[in-house]
Amino acid sequence: MTGSQPTLVVAAALVDDLDAPTVLLSARRRTPASLAGRWEFPGGKVEPGETPEEALHRELREELGVAVGLGDEVPGPEDGVWRITPTHVLRLWLAEVVSGVPAPLVEHDELRWLPAGQWFDVPWLDADVPIVTAVVALTSADAA
């Protein structure tokens, strides 16, 4: 990577069970207009002084009102990260809710639990499509 470092974004593939997932949470963007109506994994930018894991816990509390337990990281093809824009890279973990009920509090206007076999049934952001594919491969939950 030349020039300045890309902005690090963290997100979670929220599932019902880390060992045997049967559903995946998708979150529909409300803003900006160019992304509104498209679906993504919940998460956000890592702030100065935070570890990626701390940022993910904070973002999920702020965006969904939940506490989570983290599972395995889903490694991306570019030094372990996923390039989601020319200036942003993403790290993604499998996670399950340990406290609270997910609600669209900030960035999103709808959440949807997608059953296995239907993980591609919403219009994901283009950058998230290969990540969904990797989550499917890692969990084997969507093989139906």
Q: Kindly report the pTM of this predicted structure.
A: 0.92
Assigned domain for 19 exists: yes
Structure tokens at 27: 């979150």
**Which of 1-10, 25-34, 53-62 is predicted least confidently?**
1-10
CATH number of the CATH domain containing 127: 3.90.79.10
Residue 106 identity: V
Assigned domain for 90 exists: yes
Structure tokens at 81: 């990260």
Structure tokens at 2: 């030349």
Greater confidence, 70 or 142?
70
Assigned domain for 89 exists: yes
Tally the domains of the chain: 1
Within 7-50, residue ranges assigned H as helices are none
Assigned domain for 134 exists: yes
Assigned domain for 1 exists: no
- pLDDT tens-digit readout, 132-144: 999 999 887 544 4
Assigned domain for 60 exists: yes
**Could you tell me the residue range of the domain that residue 138 belongs to?**
7-142
b/e map 73-89, b = 16+ CB within 10 Å = bbebeeeebbbbeeeeb
pLDDT for the residue 136:
93
